[in-house]
Chain A
């Protein structure tokens, strides 16, 4: 059986169809949470953002009209705006550390080193300006095309590329300062 498209489901949701709404939530929920998690650095907050975003889908489904943009582009824009709004009110921490206990097994040292490296990268990401981080989350981590990522941020593709270049440049400088990224690594 062919799956209903997002547009078909949205039309049903607009008419108050909870089953269609549930399908939309299940179809896009995981990605929305991941996106918000990377933006806020916090799983619980990401789940709140996801709930809020889907509540808006429910509230506005009846009024939504396809005007060149896909439903997901609009959804991602809602998620990013909610995250940016939260970040304005409360600066975000790096992604939560796992907080694992010390490991005495062979290879534990390498694991610890990798964890420390991840923490440094995490801290560097958390220091990025909001919109640079948003561009990186959508384009790099979520793998959205440049046109979709730009539309989700309501900017041109050229502006998206500019944000990405600045984000990666800032990350490289920060990680070089921390000794995590070395010239040797960049040559290999």
Chain B
């Protein structure tokens, strides 16, 4: 699969058209602007290209069966709810509330602080348990490795 190649307008192959359909569906309006004209031209002259689009179009038709119509009342509620925004919080008042324990809890910082303390403890324990001691990027990857691999897996890297 050739995802997002650098080739502009001039050269859209059947393989690339298959990738475009696999990612964006059959409607040219959703295709990458730089490749759209060439992809449409290929579709117009190739039966194989039209077959690819028919396959993608079947899924599109199902996805299009789920319209979301935001009612006017929802926009009116949003407009009313935001009509009188609260005074802006300056950075100094954020710190003031963080230093006051009641403000600290109210500011929803407590869970983050707990996680942070846990990570420090984990770092200490891990650092004591492993030789040689990891520093810099290695130590960072050790603590956050799982998070990164989960994200990479999600985006297919």
Contact = CB atoms under 8 A, between A and B. Distances in A.
Q: Do A and B come from one complex?
A: yes
Interface of A: 18, 21-22, 25-26, 29-30, 33-34, 37-38, 43, 47, 50-51, 54-55, 58-59, 62, 95, 114, 117-118, 121-122, 125, 129-132, 139-141, 143, 145-146, 155-159, 161-166, 168-169, 171-172, 175, 180-181, 185-188
Interface in B82-139: 82-86, 88-89
26 contacts: A18-B84, A18-B85, A22-B83, A25-B78, A25-B82, A29-B78, A38-B68, A47-B78, A55-B82, A55-B86, A59-B89, A118-B66, A131-B151, A139-B24, A140-B63, A141-B63, A145-B32, A145-B33, A146-B24, A159-B155, A162-B3, A165-B3, A168-B23, A172-B59, A175-B62, A180-B62
Contacts of A38: 68
A88 to B, nearest CB: 12
B78 A33 contact: yes
Interface residues of B, number: 43
B54 A29 contact: no
B29 interface: yes
Counting from the closest, the 7 A-B pairs by CB-CB distance are: A162-B156, A164-B23, A158-B4, A58-B85, A185-B58, A186-B55, A186-B58
Contacts of A18: 83-85
Contacts of B84: 18
A159 B54 contact: no
Interface of B: 1, 3-4, 19, 22-25, 29-30, 32-33, 51, 54-56, 58-59, 61-63, 65-66, 68, 70, 74-75, 77-79, 81-86, 88-89, 151, 154-157
A34 B78 CA distance: 12
Contact residues of A: prevailing secondary structure: helix
A134 to B, nearest CB: 10
A81 to B, nearest CB: 14
Contacts of A168: 22-23, 25, 56, 59
Contacts of B156: 159, 162-163, 165-166
A145 B24 CA distance: 10
A154 B138 CA distance: 24
Contact of A51 (B23, B30, B56, B78): B78
Given A158-B4, A175-B62, A30 B154 contact: no
A18 B80 CA distance: 12
Contacts of A54: 78, 82
A26 B83 CA distance: 11
Nearest to B4: A158
Nearest to A145: B33
B78 A122 contact: no
A51 B19 contact: no
